[in-house]
A and B are shown apart, each in its own frame.
Chain A
């Protein structure tokens, strides 16, 4: 903008001008129509703000007692990485054991503890918090133009509950272990297992409350703290996904909380609620458990879908095709997800009639996910596509989630489910959606918003390399498992018939590549904190309110109120796209 002051002989005339340069051709023009430009077209200089949320205070106390949602997100980022490493170590041990048909690496008791811990840590302490607690915490206020979440102190409490729960579970793992499987089926878990069931269940119970409070915070924030002008249908799809996820977290988690509490009571006080010896019903446990745990899998995919929507739009320079359908699909998945839990129980003595209903509803819940996949793909068409690291991960997500989701149809179909349930087919199916889907989306999101969170860029070529390693390693690990499952190899088997060995060896080989792919980001992202290029506010040229503030943001997020007039995804209104 230009400003004029009255001119005197001694006065200095300062004129600020705005110029617009094309980086490639070095052709610049004077912008004299600045009054009608939106703030999107202003090119800020790529310097780090001198004061941002990271460096405003350095003490340990300022981190451990922070109420800033951005710092809490970073705390979560560090903690869930820690639990991911534990779960990943367990996975490594599993794959090593399964290289040979005999159980020769560890005793059966140890193996049973290893796969249980793998499931418990990965699901409750990595996947369920992953995107919501890190990216969600960081971005939800930014994306809606707010200063913080609705309840910052409850947000901090969420993190502490998570740490307490994780410590309890870790303690249970170290001192005695847990061997019930992450599904805790009774009466094995309530009356037969000799391991640290109660402490582990307490840990999961406490972590469940962390999850509930996060969902509560997001729900209220999205309802009440949107910037003026930001109506529901101007919200980014990331916000829609997190809203749907929050509903599931709020309504589903308490049911598993009370169920696990009943198992704790049964184990400690010898009650008879789920133990048939005492008149109880083991299948009742399964109904109560899966009533939460099925919606939980949608907690473990919806946020990833939100991330993918943002990335696909940014790297094709187009708004997501069918925005309102994608938003509606998120809500539909959340709702229908509560109605299908019985598809985990087709052969448990559930009646044929109930089975038919659950099967039918399970097919219905597949449709909104399919709609999303088609919409993302259509977004690319006639867009301007560039394959940066986040986009590579997003592509991986779409392809692998498609496979994972379609193999879910094999399991919604009762007749084939009889043969495939609890075999390696199921293992492959859920790893395709949870790892090929959610973990890839998590990595995509971490890379995409890493500049915003830290102010630094990571080395792009390493990012791409790691993405390929993850994709190739993942498929090599888990595709053979579909075949293994069809051939009849049951899951949770520590030794197996020799004809299954070839496929198991392939799977373990893939796992080693996958491990490299997962380990690399840990190193280069940490490296980038000190040596990475400074990112500037908007290195990818994305829309979205979070990119209208500095990288990293200041403590209260926006120094000037963000411009909400063109949302969502106003790529077509940009005159000059920005590149870094």
Chain B
């Protein structure tokens, strides 16, 4: 047995990895005057263990997010297969270029996020702040464009529910409503009766998927704000900046989720080869 003192009466003895049978004498530790590396939480033995644990934790959390989105995407893919043409038609009512612009916005925001993490590794406080702000502006832009898209769909009566595809009145050139043979105002629907319900399923998934994604982005903006505040408070150094890194991981995941959603939702049959 080592010359380890069994100090039953002392407050706490940090679980010193150097103590124990077969090891050297422990570092003197009286419970109060710790040589505590900056940012180290009490349950960890050293900063490296903490960094690895927190990083694994974030990756594990992202795995759960993958399964979360994955369930909805699986359902969407199955319906895409069943209602092939209705989905093609419905997807056509999305604005391809607006979605494309949004995708670029998010990709650039991932770049600025990565640059923020790089600045953190360098201990460059104002670099972090600068790139965090860029990321947040781009993220907010994405959400703003999404809001515009949702509004557009609302105006087209493509929100799933009672009023889905209730149609627009057809007007003559002078603005008076056109009447049909029976004297009722003509209404132009976007979907044929047989396509209406599958079309509604498409938009249900569209709103569910992009809505959940948008929620994740809002949470992401909150996280970025929090990291920004902590940076302003000088909480990060070149040696301790893991929170910035794992926030970056989260942000990249949200970006990657969109990279999947965009083609699935916007890019079906854009070449027109299959036809509506």
Chain A contact residues, CB within 8 Å of chain B:
1, 34-35, 37, 49, 141, 145-152, 212, 216-217, 219-221, 223-225, 227-229, 250-255, 257-259, 261-262, 265-266, 269-273, 278-281, 284, 288, 291, 554-565
Contact = CB atoms under 8 A, between A and B. Distances in A.
A318 B64 CA distance: 39
Interface in B1-49: 1, 4, 6-8, 10, 12-17, 19-22, 41-44, 49
Contacts of A557: 15
A254 B42 contact: no
A220 B1 contact: no
9 contacts: A146-B15, A150-B44, A150-B53, A152-B41, A212-B64, A216-B57, A254-B68, A258-B69, A559-B8
Nearest to B20: A561
B49 A273 contact: no
Nearest to A279: B197
Nearest to B63: A250
A42 B198 CA distance: 73
A311 B9 CA distance: 32
Nearest to A150: B53
Interface string B163-198: 000000000000000000000000000000000011
B222 to A, nearest CB: 16
B71 interface: yes
B201 A272 contact: yes
B274 interface: no
B43 A146 contact: yes
B272 interface: no
Given A225-B49, A225-B53, A272 B197 contact: yes
B238 interface: no
Contacts of A150: 43-44, 53-54, 57
Nearest to B74: A288
B71 A561 contact: no
Contacts of B7: 559-560
A265 B70 CA distance: 17
B56 A220 contact: yes
A350 B41 CA distance: 52
Contact of A258 (B21, B22, B72, B79): B72
A149 B54 CA distance: 12
B275 interface: no
A24 B215 CA distance: 68
B67 interface: yes
Contact of B200 (A141, A227, A255, A279): A279
Contacts of A257: 68, 71
Q: Among B21, B65, B78, find the residue whose CB has the most chain A CB atoms closer than 10 A.
A: B21
B148 interface: no
Given A147-B43, A559-B8, A255 B57 contact: no
B99 interface: no
Q: Among A228, A229, A259, find the residue whose CB has the most chain B CB atoms closer than 10 A.
A: A228
Contacts of B66: 254
Given A269-B161, A560-B19, A563-B20, A224 B52 contact: yes
Interface in B202-241: 204-205, 208, 212
Contacts of A555: 12
A216 to B, nearest CB: 5
Contact of A251 (B56, B67, B78): B67
Given A148-B42, A278-B200, A250 B49 contact: no
Contacts of B49: 224-225
B4 A560 contact: yes
A33 B243 CA distance: 51
B83 interface: yes
Contacts of A261: 208, 212
Nearest to B60: A216
A250 B13 contact: no
Contact of B63 (A251, A270, A272): A251
A1 B5 CA distance: 11
Nearest to B4: A560
Q: Which 5 pairs between the two chains have the least Cβ-Cβ distance?
A: A279-B197, A254-B68, A148-B43, A271-B204, A254-B67
Given A220-B53, A271-B204, A284 B6 contact: no
Contacts of A221: 53
B64 A149 contact: no
B61 interface: yes
A554 B16 CA distance: 16
B160 interface: yes
A213 B17 CA distance: 27
Given A251-B64, A272-B204, A273-B205, A561 B69 contact: no
B201 A273 contact: yes
B47 to A, nearest CB: 13
A259 B57 contact: no
B230 to A, nearest CB: 15
B200 A288 contact: no
Q: Among B68, B83, B205, find the residue whose CB has the most chain A CB atoms closer than 10 A.
A: B68
B6 A219 contact: no
B12 A254 contact: no
Contact of B21 (A147, A217, A563): A563
B208 A265 contact: yes
Contact of B71 (A149, A254, A278, A279): A254
A262 B64 contact: no
A150 B13 CA distance: 18
Contacts of A270: 160-162
